[in-house]
Structure 1
Amino acid sequence: MARNEEKAQSMPNQFIAMKNEEKKKPTERRPFLASECRDLAEADKWRQQIMREIGREVAEIQNEGLGEHRLLDLNDEINKLIREEGHWERQMVELNDTKHTAKMIDSEGNIVDVPNPSGRGPGYW
């Protein structure tokens, strides 16, 4: 009788493992800058991911057995995540505003992209 290690290395098991690996969705990384995201739903997804990370770390920081150094590190990580969440919230507000702003239309009925001299996105200047 073959051992478990030998069974795992057999061709059918390797084939099944390869097929399962192909089915897995590639992990998507959060954009480094919130301003790179141009979709409101995607920005909300990343903001929710940050909120889950904050929740996990807040739960971990409440552990009384943590050392002082780990406590300070967790506090720094939570502050960083809160700051990043603010960036995503601002981006979501900006994306929501651009969705509802009035569009300029030329004489033929085509929507014209009007540059904003302030460089802060569409709107009045």
Structure 2
Amino acid sequence: MARNEEKAQSLLNRWTSMKQDFADTFKNRRPYLASQCDNLKEAERWRRQIIREISKKVADIQNGACCSLYLLLSSFMLTWLLPAGSSEHVIRDLNDEINKRIREKRHWERRIVQLGGPDYSKSQPQAYDADGTPVSSVGGYKYFGAAKNLPGVRELFQTEEIEPRKRTRQDMYKHIEPDYYGFRDDEDEQQLKDEEEAENRLRQRAIDGWNTAEAKRKAQVAELQKGIPTA
């Protein structure tokens, strides 16, 4: 009877130990959703863990070889066993993983703010590659290291030289305002003043011309009258 009790106690101890190990495994595993964490210190720890993962993956992709045995075999030894373009897929997958971790880090940073912690998003520096150039991004998706040289990606960052298009009549009409047609000329005081001065000059010139012509006509009439004998 005592033997059976010892067996039962031993089995219970093993079950309790296994249950504790199972609980510790999940306790040390990062929650799938940041909202599942209610402890600020834990949230800070998970954020630091994600940053370490991002740093490692960025270092791998910037090395070009990605520190991957799969890539090593693809590039040098067993290319006949691996599909064509496998190295490109590895780089793309690694770049996708980095962007996934960056999004996850943002979730944890928002959760930290909700738990009363600091707002890390306001103090984040500009991200740079190993060569000192800013990390390229398209629509919020970032490309690191060797990923920027992948087929189809390189063309996204090439600025094509576009020849200046000749202006059409429609383009010129787009920039025409009512002032062009003189619709607001009567509202411009300076223009009204200039027009009045120009009008006075033209009027005076016309008067002077008429007076000169009239004086000449009278002189001619006087000359003709001198040559006519009086009765």
Partner-residue secondary structure (3-state), 1:64: coil
Question: Which structure 2 segments of 5+ residues have no match?
Answer: 1-23, 67-86, 118-231
Aligned residues: 75
CA deviation profile, 1:53-102 (whole Å, cap 9, x unmatched): 000100110122352111100000000000000000000000007xxxxx
1:86 has 2:106 as partner: yes
Q: Distance in 1 between matches of 2:30 and 2:51?
A: 13
Partner-residue secondary structure (3-state), 2:43: helix
Deviation at 1:34, TM superposition (A): 0.2
Question: Which structure 1 segments of 5+ residues have no match?
Answer: 1-25, 98-125
The TM-score with structure 2 as length reference comes to 0.30
Q: Distance in 1 between matches of 2:97 and 2:53?
A: 10
Counterpart position of 1:49: 49
TM alignment of 1:1-125, pairs within 5 A: 26-27=24-25, 28-66=28-66, 67-96=87-116
Q: Distance in 1 between matches of 2:34 and 2:56?
A: 22
RMSD: 2.1
Higher helix proportion: 2
Bigger Rg, which one = 2
The structure showing larger relative contact order (alpha-carbon pairs under 8 Å, at least 6 residues apart) is: 1
Q: Distance in 1 between matches of 2:38 and 2:64?
A: 42
Q: Percent identity?
A: 58
The TM-score with structure 1 as length reference comes to 0.55
Partner-residue secondary structure (3-state), 1:96: coil
